[in-house]
Amino acid sequence: MSRVLVFAGSARQASLNKQLAQLGAAALTAAGAEARFIDLGDYPMPIYHGDLEAADGVPPKAIELGRLIHEYDALLIASPENNASVSSLLKNTIDWLSRIREFTPLEGKTAALIAASPGAFGGVRGLYHLRAILNTLGVEVLAQQFLLPRAHQAFGADGEFIDPKQAEQLAKLVQRLVQALG
């Protein structure tokens, strides 16, 4: 069974991307994968600083997250768009993960990208950057992605998509991810 780790690039309590990530995890389970949602808020780490790294090494929470990622075949990442790019939280987390020397948590993984934004474009510009960052670290990113524009109006009180077409599109993407994992 394919194992997919799911997280969002926001730790905000009412994060739209966490909500989307959780729907993604449920869709993965329905597609026959083993999916685990984690909250990056549970992996606090300082802003990357070379002097800090030289003095103390990679923070324990980054190593813990790196070990967890290493155990999984693939990632489903819900990425907020901040100023047309990825969130500071997601970039900082990836930067620290890339400094682990004992093993390379991200290299060789497969990832699918999703994004939720209250704006009209659904976070597409952030995913463009995230794709490039992950490719640099040896992650194979699926060409297909899922965007949720006007995300603040997209979920019902039950936490599900109001528009069933969006549920279908997300299901299709995660099915592709599962297929890609063989």
User: What is the footprint of ligand FMN within residues 115-134 (CB under 6 A)?
Assistant: 117-119, 121, 123
Least Å distance, CB 122 to ligand FMN, is: 7
Tell the smallest beta-carbon distance from residue 5 to ligand FMN (Å).
18
Does the footprint of ligand FMN cover residue 10 (CB under 6 A)?
yes
Query: Which residue in 5, 6, 7, 17 binds ligand FMN (CB under 6 A)?
Result: 17
> CA-CA distances (angstroms) from residue 148 to 67, 99, 163?
30, 32, 11
**Residue 111: strand, helix, or coil:** strand
Burial class (CB in 10 A: 0-12, 13-18, 19+), 38: middle
Is residue 79 part of the contact set for ligand FMN (CB under 6 A)? no
Nearer Cβ to ligand FMN (105/123): 123
Residue from the set 13, 54, 83, 182 that interacts with ligand FMN by CB under 6 A? 83
Nearest approach in angstroms of CB 103 to ligand FMN is 29
> Is 81 an interacting residue with respect to ligand FMN (CB under 6 A)?
yes
Give the CA distances from residue 105 to residues 70, 87, 96, in Å, rounded to whole numbers and listed in that order: 5, 20, 11
Shortest distance, CB of residue 108 to ligand FMN, whole angstroms?
28
Largest separation between any pair of C-alpha atoms in the chain: 51
Scanning the structure block, which residue is given the tokens 């004992």?
A: 102
- Is residue 153 within the footprint of ligand FMN (CB under 6 A)? no
83 versus 153: smaller Cβ distance to ligand FMN: 83
The DSSP code sequence of 52-101 is HHHHH-S-HHHHHHHHHHHH-SEEEEE---BTTB--HHHHHHHHHHTT--
73 binds ligand FMN (CB under 6 A): no
Report, in angstroms and rounded to the nearest whole number, the Rg of the chain calculated over CA atoms. Answer: 16
The yes or no reply on residue 24 touching ligand FMN (CB under 6 A) is no
- Cα–Cα distance for residue pair 89/78, rounded to 1 Å: 12
- Residues in touch with ligand FMN (CB under 6 A): 8, 10, 12, 15-17, 80-84, 117-119, 121, 123
